[in-house]
């Protein structure tokens, strides 16, 4: 008979509101400081160098997401209520797996990048930059998920803030003293990439230090039991997370095959504005997962509280942005205002997206992971497939119609299956045990039995 996990909370934890606000602040601060960083670079560095640096950074980030996607919800879901020994094993396994996978995949990815990058930057430099950047970025994903799992998301905000500010300071100093060779693309690209990766390393060091201080009993301990739990639990989370992120990567590529670069640029800026609103539900839902993972008894009340918080943060700003969509897009330059309909469609999609995010969190806590993955993949397929079918007939706006339709359909599907009805995985609270779906690699029955002890 499997014994339930002993609930062990850190000395200091944050609640749903505190963690939600920390995650939102982290997202907005990273975006703002990242924008300032590239503005500084653009004033003194050639567009070619910026383009190459962006390509390499995008490659390392994509590799990191592919390596760490499943661990982000898994650690947030499994760390609350775990004993220090169990937390140590889970975190250690996640760090080791993501580092090995991202490092290996980063090396391979660097060899698949366009030939002109290897020629200009140098093959050795390119391999080192992509591999190191992928390892650092994926490790940051893991440590941020771990901090959220112990309900201290504000420590991730601190680490990211220090790293981002150091990045700005470094590039400003380098440009001021003339250390960046203007007009020499290779030198400028090297400088940007070194500064970027060094700032990631600094953020990672601070985040790891914060994690060790917030959970002083946490140790790096790699053992077979932890790897077995990770293997049995991470698969469906990985599939669902990648499916949720896929449209953001794929839709610009589809648009680039159908439309001139100018239209793709208009689409990218419009989507960037909409992302500010999509991040609200994602942040609150992640905080909800950490809040209720070790205590499903309060799931209903906290889910309703999370829904009210999302509505409070979204409703008025979305309405105002829709009403002034023309004026807001005009800030970016002439021509952008013509795409106000696309912005409005994406903003309307944030409401069903909020329903989906909360429902996915509830189902993760109920261990209905296969259903979460299935609906996430279905939504991504409808968004991408619908865009491919509609954009040739309706232009860029077809992507907005496809995304809104997909979000509405998936939200209705989640409502139909009843996310608040504990049909799978939480029946054990009444003493009847728990039925566990056989996930990728076999969903661990011990996981669910532990997750539903109360």
pLDDT at position 105 is: 96
As a whole number of angstroms, the distance between CA 153 and CA 21 comes to 9
Q: Is the pLDDT of residue 108 over 50?
A: yes
Mean pLDDT to the nearest integer, 408-417: 91
pLDDT at position 339 is: 93
pLDDT at position 42 is: 76
Q: Is the pLDDT of residue 303 over 90?
A: yes
As a whole number of angstroms, the distance between CA 344 and CA 325 comes to 7
Q: Is the pLDDT of residue 181 over 70?
A: no
DSSP state of 297: G
Tokens of 147: 């901090």
3-state per-residue secondary structure call for 136-187: HHHHHHHHHHHHHHCCCHHHHHHHHHHHHHHHHHHHHHHHHCCCCCCCCHHH
pLDDT at position 403 is: 96
Q: How far is CA 116 from CA 50, 110, 112, 119, in A?
A: 14, 12, 11, 5
As a whole number of angstroms, the distance between CA 366 and CA 233 comes to 13
As a whole number of angstroms, the distance between CA 119 and CA 130 comes to 15
pLDDT tens per residue across span 242-255: 999 999 888 888 88
**Residue position matching structure tokens 């009847």:** 432
Tokens of 360: 């996915």
Mean pLDDT to the nearest integer, 313-327: 95
3-state per-residue secondary structure call for 142-154: HHHHHHHHCCCHH
CB 243 within 8 A of CB 373: yes
pLDDT tens per residue across span 322-365: 999 999 999 888 888 999 999 999 999 999 999 999 999 999 99
Q: Is the pLDDT of residue 175 over 90?
A: no
What is the pTM assigned to this prediction? 0.81
CB 288 within 8 A of CB 302: yes
pLDDT at position 437 is: 33
Q: Is the pLDDT of residue 43 over 80?
A: no
- Break the chain down into helix, strand, coil percent, rounded to 5: 80, 0, 20
3-state secondary structure of 53: helix
Q: How confident is the model at residue 188 (pLDDT cuts 50, 70, 90)?
A: confident
Mean pLDDT to the nearest integer, 411-416: 90
- Rounded to 10 deg, the angle between the 123-149 and 47-68 helix axes is 50
The pair phi, psi for residue 425, each rounded to 5°, is 95, -20
pLDDT at position 199 is: 95
């Amino acid at each position: 008979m499997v014994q339930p996990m002993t609930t062990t909370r850190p000395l200091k934890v944050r609640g749903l509101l505190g963690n939600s606000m920390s995650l939102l602040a982290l997202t907005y601060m990273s975006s703002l400081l990242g924008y300032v960083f590239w503005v500084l670079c653009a004033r003194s560095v050639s567009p070619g160098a910026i383009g190459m640096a962006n390509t390499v950074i995008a490659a390392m980030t994509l590799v990191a997401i592919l390596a760490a996607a499943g661990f982000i919800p898994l650690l947030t879901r499994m760390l609350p209520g775990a004993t220090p020994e169990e937390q140590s094993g889970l975190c250690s396994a996640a760090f080791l797996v993501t580092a090995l996978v991202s490092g290996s995949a980063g090396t391979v990815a660097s060899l698949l990048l366009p030939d002109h990058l290897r020629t200009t930057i140098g093959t050795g430099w390119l391999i080192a930059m992509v591999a190191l950047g992928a390892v650092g970025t994926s490790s940051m994903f893991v440590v941020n998920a771990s901090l959220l799992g112990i309900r201290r998301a504000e420590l991730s905000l601190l680490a990211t803030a220090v790293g981002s500010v150091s990045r700005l300071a470094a590039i400003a100093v380098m440009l001021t003293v003339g250390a960046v060779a203007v007009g020499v693309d290779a030198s400028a690209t090297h400088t940007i990439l070194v500064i970027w990766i060094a700032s990631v390393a600094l953020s990672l060091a601070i985040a790891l230090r914060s994690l060790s201080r917030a959970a002083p009993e946490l140790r790096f301990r790699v053992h077979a039991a932890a790897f077995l739990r990770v293997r049995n639990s991470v698969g469906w989370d990985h599939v669902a997370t990648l499916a949720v992120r896929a449209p953001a990567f794929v839709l610009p590529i589809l648009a680039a095959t159908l439309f001139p670069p100018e239209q793709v640029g208009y689409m990218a800026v419009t989507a960037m504005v909409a992302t500010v609103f999509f991040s609200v539900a994602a942040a609150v839902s992640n905080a909800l997962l950490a809040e209720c993972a070790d205590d499903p008894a309060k799931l209903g009340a906290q889910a309703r509280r999370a829904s009210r918080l999302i509505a409070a943060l979204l409703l008025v700003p979305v309405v105002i942005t829709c009403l002034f969509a023309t004026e807001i897009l005009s800030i970016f330059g002439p021509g952008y205002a013509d795409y106000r309909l696309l912005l409005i469609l994406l903003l309307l999609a944030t409401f069903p997206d909020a329903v989906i995010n909360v429902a996915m969190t509830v189902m993760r806590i109920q261990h209905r992971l296969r259903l979460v993955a299935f609906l996430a993949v279905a939504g991504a397929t409808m968004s991408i497939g619908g865009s491919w079918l509609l954009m040739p007939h309706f232009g860029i706006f077809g992507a907005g119609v496809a995304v809104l339709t997909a979000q509405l359909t998936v939200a209705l599907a989640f409502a139909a299956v009843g996310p608040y009805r504990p049909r799978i995985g939480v029946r054990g609270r009444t003493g009847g045990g728990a039925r566990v779906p056989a996930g990728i690699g076999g969903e661990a029955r011990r996981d669910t039995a532990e997750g539903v002890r109360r």
